[in-house]
Structure 1
């Protein structure tokens, strides 16, 4: 046997496979070469072997985030963090005290802060007057709020036609309220904002990856490959290995050049590659742009994001026919059904097609995921951070009790045999997998025992939750050599101070990460 580059030992090694659990493993050339007991380790050593005994820690396969937006996210998180704002009074206070140089930008604003009132620029004007250009991203990244001065600078004086389901929200007088729904409308203002320099974007992306590795992540699925993604990934790899692996799916909007999406599939680096195409079939329930079988309580969320749904289906068939896995954001019941119907006619590929978010759906759709071999990709903190058990939140009020009661059906999907990948959707929600694993089990935010769980019957077991970041994540990516700890598998490993399978979820969410290993190299060490 080749001498190990690294030997790891710990009281518990969760291989995610049946059989005895080892306490030591060896790594050489980025691959796990042996597993056994601590006593076996002496047989794996060579003159240059590094031996790390992590004591009472628990080693698991490296965790993989099922859905994140790294490059888009560093642009979405400019300005003041509004994710903790819960009232209009607090919003105005934050805006008054925020530093600004020309534009005032913010991100993460929850529409529940408007306390049932329409989302308009009124509180921005009350806090700052009408002459300050303000651009605030709402938490879902599908909508934004612009001040009167920002609208003026962008030349927005009334409604606009869009190719997709976007809109400039206007009042009864035909004047914009400041609320911009979906990407094309948001882009009207975003496009005139000051740009970050390339060096700053590289530094921010590198910092993001390092922070992700420090939480135990060894990989993630990037649900975009736009703007300067290629330049950023290449520039960072010119300076050394990335702290985690990335699978990138370029965004496909109505009217996109599909042959370009196919050509991107050949691009890769040492720890990143393009694989897949990311579509949206609808928008968000909070913004009234989801695609539901019946209108929401505001009479909205009745349309597909694509002007002609068949155009989406044709694009999916074109790409899948050329070996490109299809990834589709689908939140509402009508949208999920249409995507499943489309997937039923697509060729099955090595990497399965997948649907993201899946916020509300009736029972007849749940079983189709396993039948069609479609990956369900969900983000537990979308449920626990932005909805409430008593349905008093904006999301639930818009849906009404019937549809809010059949929401975020993670356990039903697993029980019906679906492959379920878990993730964060960063920057929509925090990327730390410890809090997400806890939320998947608790159906409430980690560290908040006073908060009632949302649909607790949909809670995952500890093992199901961990599988969502390991074995299920590997299967979703078509990677037979990942997601478990065994000889021949990738040496992507995470070591926690506490055991994710036995520790109390709230306690685990706060537990240290001792070590993160990617391809046998240390990406984080406490």
Structure 2
């Protein structure tokens, strides 16, 4: 089996259009030899070498041709038959979320609620009392008991730390008793618009919060500093590069994260190209101005661009928040949630059109998709 060799974004995506050759060999910065080069273009011929200068691909050649570009200061790498192909772009990611997932309790693949609790207990054992414990990745559909968990077992096992565990889809979360206490959640707390507090048969919160209900807990989780955000973004970018991703589309970032991306690009620590979509403003009265203010076109030689708006119409199927035309088969009376009012979505789409922004909308359920299609088809 051939080995895949991922390469940094600027190197992989900059194939020259003029036949991938140059007429006057000059010493290059980097020459890769003895590889199998896949261009994914109509270019004819077989190439085994890549010549790189100033962070860009200068030519695709045979080994003998590429050696003409080797000078005293040229770095030469023997690929030993490895395959090189244009870098992959993840068209939907949340880069800061990936960084947080790598730093927090990993709950992906847990096969029971008990296993979730054990992983949280292990983190609590090395975390100062009172400090928040965050995690992500649980999915009750992977457990024998496929109902949403109740916080009581988690609260009993981890009583001295506020705990907030986001479901694998990001559209629901589980809080323990201390976290709900700090958030002021009681049986009298009302469901927010576009969200739900899951309750037991006596009306008490079970600790599970769906879609906009998650904000009731997340708003009291200590905010990350800019330094913390940048470190997490850098860690996430490194993880992407290791698997061959050289670009990502970051779907829905807050305005303050723009400065983080620019700072990392300025320090040459971003590593991959980011096309970002901003989260919508709270008020739609000056949405056009908001979008134009935050637009970024090809910052730092194209390392960071922000020219999109991310919207949410509904929730997700796994957390029973996707908006359906009929009841969920396993949850009679529940047809999901509309996270954003259709009228607001329509006005934000109009603002994006005026500002020259692309719009991407999360819509999972059939009702959610029908509503976004209706909103965008209007003249």
TM bin (shorter chain): 0.7 to 0.9
Mapped contact 1:143–1:180 kept (Cα < 8 A):
yes
Alignment: residue pair count = 342
The SS at the match of 1:98 is helix
Q: TM-score scaled by structure 2? A: 0.80
Q: Structure 1 residues 305, 10: CA separation in 2 closer, same or farther (over 3 Å shift)?
A: farther
Q: Distance in 1 between matches of 2:221 and 2:343?
A: 35
What is the match of residue 190 of structure 1? 218
What is the match of residue 162 of structure 1? 192
Mapped contact 1:253–1:279 kept (Cα < 8 A):
no
Moved over 6 A (4+): none
1:153 aligned to 168, 173, 182, which one? 182
Q: Structure 1 residues 104, 5: CA separation in 2 closer, same or farther (over 3 Å shift)?
A: closer
What is the match of residue 25 of structure 1? 50
Q: Structure 1 residues 73, 56: CA separation in 2 closer, same or farther (over 3 Å shift)?
A: closer
2:33 aligned to 2, 6, 9, which one? 9
What is the match of residue 93 of structure 2? 68
The SS at the match of 1:174 is coil
Matched, 1:115 2:149: no
Mapped contact 2:50–2:57 kept (Cα < 8 A):
yes
Matched, 1:319 2:347: no
What is the match of residue 236 of structure 1? 264
Q: Distance in 1 between matches of 2:50 and 2:117?
A: 54
What is the match of residue 466 of structure 1? none
The SS at the match of 2:259 is helix
Mapped contact 1:159–1:170 kept (Cα < 8 A):
no
Q: Structure 1 residues 10, 263: CA separation in 2 closer, same or farther (over 3 Å shift)?
A: farther
What is the match of residue 232 of structure 2? 204
Matched, 1:334 2:367: yes
Q: Distance in 1 between matches of 2:101 and 2:216?
A: 15
Structure 1 segment 287-436 matched on structure 2, within 5 A? 287-297=319-329, 298-299=331-332, 300-307=334-341, 309-344=342-377
Structure having the higher Rg: 2
Q: TM-score scaled by structure 1? A: 0.59
The SS at the match of 1:205 is helix
Q: Distance in 2 between matches of 1:331 and 1:127?
A: 35
* 1:302 Cα deviation from its structure 2 partner: 4.1
* 1:268 Cα deviation from its structure 2 partner: 5.3
- Deviation digits for residues 278-301 of structure 1, max 9, x if unmatched? 111111111111022322121323
Matched, 1:55 2:80: yes
CA RMSD of aligned residues (A): 2.7
Gaps of 5+ in 1: 347-526
1:284 aligned to 316, 324, 330, which one? 316
Q: Distance in 1 between matches of 2:246 and 2:96?
A: 17
The SS at the match of 2:77 is strand
Q: Structure 1 residues 319, 173: CA separation in 2 closer, same or farther (over 3 Å shift)?
A: same
